[in-house]
Amino acid sequence: MSNDDYTPPKVWTWDKESGGHWAGVNRPIAGPTHEQTLPVGDQPIQLYSLGTPNGIKITVMLEELLAIGKTDAAYDLHRIDIGKGEQFGSGFVELNPNSKIPVILDQSKSPAQSVFESCAILFYLAEKHAALLPRDARDRTECLSWLFWQESSASFLGGGFGHFYKYAPYPMEYPINRYAMETKRQLDVLNRHLADREYMCASGYSIADIAIWPWYGRLALGEVYDAAEFLDTASYENVQRWAKLVQARQGVQAGLAAAR
């Protein structure tokens, strides 16, 4: 296998030996691969997750809520080993047909409410607790714009740049160039936006910061994909300042520790 000897076939078929870090678990079909009942604890929130950027969002959110006295945010964290394919267990797929962490089950509702997609979980928890999402319509709209920005942008960073820079079976110049360019453009979007504000939204710290920091904040600080030098993240000074400000929060530190 090399960079230049591939001609796409007429009809794509699944090459199980395609290599790369995730070749053993990635597949082109949905649905469960095996029976597996999920563990359930006593706390109101059951979180099925892992210490990845999307997983960290939720432990940070829950720890931030606990820090402001929202006792209903107490949670049991059940680790889902995505490297072993636990996201394809029947119990997990029942909660998230998309087979990706994180997922929550809110047992304080009757019947219990499941929520998947990390930003939907952040929004759900912010609504439930009336916290970390501004009430004012204008501020709220701004905050939701950045929340949705994160969700659509991170696939270029994670599935694009991170995949080809870190997980692909061998380095490929074209996709690395393509996704490094887009990642740097996104970092510049953030850098310009943060030039005249402390946090992502004018109203203050919010779920937009909680969604964006585990990806772009930690990338800037050299903690995602070991790519800080390659992407020259030090040059994004406003992102650096914001990333350190968010990182210093007690809830963020607690959320990181829990996710580890």
Ligand X SMILES: N[C@@H](CCC(=O)N[C@@H](CS)C(=O)NCC(=O)O)C(=O)O
Binding interface with ligand X (CB under 6 A): 25, 52, 54, 82, 87, 99-102, 117-119, 151
Please state the closest distance from residue 218 (CB atom) to ligand X, in A. 13
Please state the closest distance from residue 79 (CB atom) to ligand X, in A. 12
Nearer to ligand X, 33 or 238 (CB): 33
Q: How far out from the chain centre does Cα 216 lie?
A: 10
HSE-up of 149 (CA within 13 Å, CB side)? 20
Please state the closest distance from residue 74 (CB atom) to ligand X, in A. 22
Please state the closest distance from residue 185 (CB atom) to ligand X, in A. 20
Nearer to ligand X, 69 or 83 (CB): 83
Q: How many Å apart are CA 110 and CA 116, to the nearest integer?
A: 18
Q: How many Å apart are CA 92 and CA 85, to the nearest integer?
A: 11
Please state the closest distance from residue 69 (CB atom) to ligand X, in A. 27
Residue type, 69: G
Nearer to ligand X, 41 or 85 (CB): 85
Nearer to ligand X, 25 or 254 (CB): 25
Please state the closest distance from residue 141 (CB atom) to ligand X, in A. 21
Which residues fall within 8 angstroms of residue 214, CB to CB, at 6 or more apart?
A: 53, 54, 56, 57, 60
What are 133's two structure tokens? 């999402």
Nearer to ligand X, 118 or 186 (CB): 118
Nearer to ligand X, 36 or 240 (CB): 36
